[in-house]
């Protein structure tokens, strides 16, 4: 099936949001038992998301698992057409094939899907949203809003404010990606293989392609014919779409490192004109979702442990590129389960509810030009 043909189920009917304005939405987390799913449940509770009820969905393997939400014990159900009936909003983190499988059912029910997988990200009719950068795009959804790749979200929280100082010409980025980026089982495998190495046993991997303990390897997503892997190409293509800059030049090298949770990125940015370190630090210091850790006297810059379980992306070591008068170098760290996935999705959901965008807007309504997220 040609990819775009698979989107014929996108909602064509325009429903007034008025019917929903009188009650909070019913919400489901699809992939509730996974690394991102568990964080979604946590965030919905921590941020007091205005939901009428919450359903937890996963595969039949984990049906019956129980989670506590707002003091109530909820049971995970196997995803099914029946389980999805009556749900207004699905936050999905069960992988691309599962999203592709169930999105048409959600479309038929008029359910909005906010999807963490890569299934629909580059589809022109699907908004790809980082709320601090392009929230208004979410208002134009037709039943699906895509959450970008985690490394892309973290990168764009820094790039978007900086490009207000001068247009971006080229970005070269190297990522240091934690085990959690590959899911809950990869985190468990890093713990097991670390114990194996420390106790003198031969570490064996089943989830990741190689043992990650005391090791690192290039990202294991499939290689394209041009020498880049899929993860690296996602950073290029998704950044272009979110920034609405189709000519952006970006080259990425993605590496898996033996960190449990939170990714880091070394970023070289070439602008169309010189940008001073002071101006960059000022703009980033004011940027929503960004925290500066730039303690030069103590040689103390962002680390994964600074951002684990935290919302903001930490940026530091902002410096002039000695090889390029239009260039800056910086280093950033972000919890990619949180801001790189679950938090970003929940922020989109919050905005959707706040602005009455749960159902596709009628073409007769003027497009709501919402501001980007400010806090
Ligand atoms: N981890 C990250 O940092 C990150 C960041 C951005 C985006 N994402 C994306 O988010 C998605 C989930 O990632 P993750 O790291 O949370 O993975 P994970 O820890 O492996 O969790 C996968 C989830 O999907 C469920 N699932 C698997 N097969 C299913 C099926 N046939 N039907 C229904 N549910 C099924 C699993 O349920 P069971 O317990 O029943 O198997 C589990 O809840 C992926 O698309 C990933 O690319 C992840």
Report CA(20)–ligand 1 centroid distance (Å).
29
> From the candidates 141, 150, 219, 254, which is the catalytic residue?
150
On whether both 161 and 307 belong to a single domain, the answer is: yes
On whether both 205 and 233 belong to a single domain, the answer is: yes
Active site residue 150: yes
Confidence (pLDDT) at 10: 72
Q: What is the dihedral angle through the alpha carbons of 256, 262, 263, 267, rounded to the nearest 10 degrees?
A: -160
Confidence (pLDDT) at 227: 96
On whether both 303 and 201 belong to a single domain, the answer is: yes
pLDDT at 16 over 60: no
pLDDT tens profile 35-57: 999 999 999 999 999 998 999 99
Q: Is residue 143 part of a domain?
A: yes
pLDDT at 5 over 70: no
On whether both 61 and 135 belong to a single domain, the answer is: yes
Q: What is the mean pLDDT of residues 103-130?
A: 97
Confidence (pLDDT) at 20: 58
On whether both 252 and 264 belong to a single domain, the answer is: yes
pLDDT at 292 over 60: yes
Mean pLDDT for the chain overall:
93
pLDDT at 362 over 90: no
Confidence (pLDDT) at 311: 98
Who's near 142: CB < 8 A, 6+ residues apart?
10, 11, 12, 125, 126, 360
On whether both 70 and 203 belong to a single domain, the answer is: no
CATH number at residue 275: 3.30.360.10
On whether both 97 and 245 belong to a single domain, the answer is: no
pTM: 0.93
Distance CA 151, CA 176 (A): 9
CATH number at residue 92: 3.40.50.720
Q: Is the CB of 59 under 6 A from ligand 1?
A: yes
Residue 303 is encoded by which pair of tokens? 């680390």
On whether both 332 and 344 belong to a single domain, the answer is: no
On whether both 270 and 196 belong to a single domain, the answer is: yes
Phi, psi of 4 (to 5 degrees): -70, -25
Judge whether 80 and 52 are in contact, CB under 8 Å.
Answer: no
Active site residue 333: no
Judge whether 292 and 285 are in contact, CB under 8 Å.
Answer: yes
Q: What is the mean pLDDT of residues 228-247?
A: 98
pLDDT at 145 over 80: yes
Task: List the domain range (segments joined by +) for residue 54.
Answer: 3-147+340-355
Q: Which atom of ligand 1 is nearest to the CA of 336?
A: 3
Q: How many domains does the chain have?
A: 2
Q: Is the CB of 151 under 6 A from ligand 1?
A: no
């Amino acid at each position: 099936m040609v990819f775009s043909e698979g989107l014929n189920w996108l909602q064509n009917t325009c429903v007034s949001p008025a019917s929903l304005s009188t009650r909070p939405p019913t919400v489901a987390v699809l992939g509730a038992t996974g690394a991102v799913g568990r964080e979604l449940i946590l965030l919905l509770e921590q941020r007091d998301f205005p939901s009428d009820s919450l359903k937890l969905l996963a595969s039949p393997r984990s049906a019956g698992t129980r989670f506590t939400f707002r003091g109530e014990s909820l049971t995970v159900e196997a995803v099914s057409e029946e389980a999805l009936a009556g749900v207004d909003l699905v936050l999905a983190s069960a992988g691309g094939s599962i999203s592709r499988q169930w999105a048409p059912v959600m479309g038929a029910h008029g359910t909005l899907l906010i999807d963490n997988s890569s299934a629909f990200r580059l589809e022109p009719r699907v908004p790809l949203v980082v709320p601090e950068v392009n929230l208004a795009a979410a208002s134009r959804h037709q039943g699906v809003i895509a959450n970008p790749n985690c490394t892309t979200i973290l990168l764009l929280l820094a790039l978007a404010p900086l490009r207000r100082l001068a247009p971006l010409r080229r970005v070269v980025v190297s990522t240091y990606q934690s085990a959690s980026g590959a899911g809950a089982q990869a985190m468990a495998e890093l713990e097991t293989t670390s114990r194996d190495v420390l106790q003198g046993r031969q570490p064996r991997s089943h989830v990741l392609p190689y043992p990650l303990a005391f090791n690192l390897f290039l990202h294991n997503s499939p290689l394209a014919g041009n020498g880049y892997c899929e993860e690296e190409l996602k950073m290029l293509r998704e950044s272009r779409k979110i920034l609405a800059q189709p000519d952006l030049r970006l080259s990425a090298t993605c590496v898996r490192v033996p960190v449990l949770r939170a990714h880091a990125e070394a970023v070289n940015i070439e602008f169309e004109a010189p940008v001073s370190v002071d101006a960059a630090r000022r703009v980033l210091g004011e940027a929503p979702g960004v925290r500066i850790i730039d303690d030069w006297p103590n040689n103390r810059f962002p680390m994964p442990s600074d951002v684990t379980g935290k919302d903001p992306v930490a940026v530091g070591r902002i410096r002039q590129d000695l090889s390029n008068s239009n260039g800056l170098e910086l280093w950033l760290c972000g919890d990619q389960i949180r801001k790189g996935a679950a938090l970003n999705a929940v922020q989109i959901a919050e905005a959707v509810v706040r602005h009455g965008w749960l159902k596709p807007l009628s073409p007769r309504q003027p497009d709501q030009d919402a501001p980007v997220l400010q806090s």
